[in-house]
Amino acid sequence: MFSIVEKRRLNDSMTLMSMEAPFIARKAQAGQFIILRVNEYGERIPLTIADYDREKGTITIIYQKVGKTTLLLDTLEVGDAILDFIGPLGKASELEGHKKVAVIGGGAGCAIAYPQAKALHNMGVQVDIIAGFRSKDIIILEEEMRAVCDNLYLMTDDGSNGHKGFVTAALQENIDNGANYDFVIAIGPLPMMRAVCNLTKEQNIETMISMNPIMIDGTGMCGGCRLTVGGETKFACIDGPDFDGHKVDFDEAMKRLRTYGEQEAEATREFNCHLMEGAKNA
């Protein structure tokens, strides 16, 4: 069992949680992920390691409430425990050898982009963070991101924070103004990562993205997370989750991500019904 030692609501849909997991905390590196299972009937879901504290022996995750399992996880409080917490999984990001990097996060993807930016910043690399959100009430980690970069460009789709537009608009503007990035990291929804890759391909800037396909075991034994990268089949859980964004088949990845769409929607509806019943009975 893995005890929850911190829980913080970041906005209406996103929560930060830290677990006691000393073995994983000793080894975790930026870019790696964990798989968790809340209870005996639970499914295994992957979540990126957002932060770790080797001394306290804790791992921090940030999740968006998108369906049954994340809603269930969100019913737990500090002092509760989850059944299974497995990691660190995946390859650590290869961040060596860059001078000036644009780290781009989209929505919940900022939770994954943040540790990457932090690692680069601690290596002495010049880092610009471009973070995109739908509107200003769902902005997360603003202070944390600001602390680990040279410039933070905070964009909202609706301009509710004063900087209207997608992350690609900010990236294009910085490039036009001579930002001279030698590396771009983009993490967020697939359409956003694809848009960034289209832009950086034109500009010939090497771009790394973090893929988020469906996973079951996370250790390479099933291929549920397979992707086509440069014409070859790769397993995101052992070959990634980071890949060269200019080589990923986005179209295929988007389709595969929707495999269980109907079953997921049904499970979420049922879960919400039970929650309401519970509230009535209480």
Terminal-residue alpha carbon distance, the chain = 27
Rounded to whole angstroms, the Cα distance separating 115 from 139 reads 17
Residues 230-249 that bind another protein (CB under 8 A): 233, 238
Considering only residues 71, 224, 246, 247, which one is a binding residue for another protein as defined by CB under 8 A? Answer: 224
Other beta carbons within 10 angstroms of residue 255's beta carbon come to 10
What x/- string results for residues 72 through 101 when contact with another protein is judged by CB under 8 A? Answer: -----------xxxxxxx------------
| Interacting span for another protein (CB under 8 A) from 94-102, 175-183, 220-228, 240-248 | 220-228
Is residue 255 at the binding interface for another protein, with CB under 8 A as the rule? yes
Contact (Cβ atoms closer than 8 angstroms) between residue 170 and residue 153: yes
For residue 137, give the DSSP letter.
G
- Residue 145 makes CB contacts below 8 A (sequence gap 6+) with 105, 110, 114, 117, 129, 131, 152
Number of chain positions touching another protein (CB under 8 A): 41
Rounded least distance, CB 40 to another protein, Å: 9
Longest dimension (CA), the chain: 62
| Interacting span for another protein (CB under 8 A) from 56-64, 125-133, 251-259, 274-282 | 251-259
What x/- string results for residues 33 through 72 when contact with another protein is judged by CB under 8 A? Answer: ----x---xxxx-----------------------xx---
Considering only residues 66, 78, 222, 273, which one is a binding residue for another protein as defined by CB under 8 A? Answer: 222
Considering only residues 6, 9, 23, 277, which one is a binding residue for another protein as defined by CB under 8 A? Answer: 23
Q: How many residues does the chain have?
A: 282
Rounded to whole angstroms, the Cα distance separating 9 from 98 reads 34
- Torsion-angle region of 159 (φ positive above 0: left; ψ -120 to 50: alpha; else: beta): left
| Interacting span for another protein (CB under 8 A) from 57-65, 117-125, 189-197, 217-225 | 217-225
Q: Is 148 helix (H, G, I), strand (E, B) or coil?
A: coil
Is residue 274 at the binding interface for another protein, with CB under 8 A as the rule? no
| Interacting span for another protein (CB under 8 A) from 124-132, 135-143, 152-160, 262-270 | 262-270
Nearer to another protein, 32 or 200 (CB): 32
Strands (E), 71-170: 81-82, 84-89, 100-106, 126-133, 151-156
DSSP for 27-65, please give it.
H--TT-EEEEE-STTPPPEEEEEEEEETTTTEEEEEEE-
| Interacting span for another protein (CB under 8 A) from 104-112, 140-148, 197-205, 211-219 | 211-219
Footprint of another protein (CB under 8 A): 23-24, 27, 37, 41-44, 68-69, 83-89, 216-217, 219-224, 226-228, 233, 238, 252, 255-256, 258-264, 267
